[in-house]
């Protein structure tokens, strides 16, 4: 394949991104919100409500099985 070859798909995407720069900006914002998020440190009182009871097998079977 020639080094100068550009597929029809690549041409389409490049043209689309040139015509819609907001798509690139939204991608950057999404990337930043996922990878550069701040970790929220919560108090132990709030986190204990999020913990399922341990069934000694490593999953919370007792938390979701029918009684």
Per the CB < 8 A criterion, the answer to whether 17 and 26 are in contact is no
Q: Which two tokens stand for residue 44?
A: 């132990």
**Which contiguous run of DSSP H or E holds residue 34?**
helix 21-35
- Pairwise pLDDT comparison (39 vs 49), residue with the higher score: 49
> 14-18, 47-51, 59-63: lowest mean pLDDT where?
59-63
Mean per-residue pLDDT, 44-56: 65
User: CA 31, CA 33: separation in Å to the nearest integer?
Assistant: 6
């Amino acid at each position: 394949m020639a080094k100068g070859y550009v597929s029809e798909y690549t041409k389409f995407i490049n043209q689309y991104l040139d015509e819609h720069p907001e798509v690139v900006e939204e991608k950057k914002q999404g990337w930043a919100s996922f990878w550069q998020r701040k970790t929220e440190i919560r108090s132990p009182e709030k986190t204990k409500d999020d913990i399922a009871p341990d069934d000694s097998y490593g999953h919370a079977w007792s938390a979701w099985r029918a009684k």
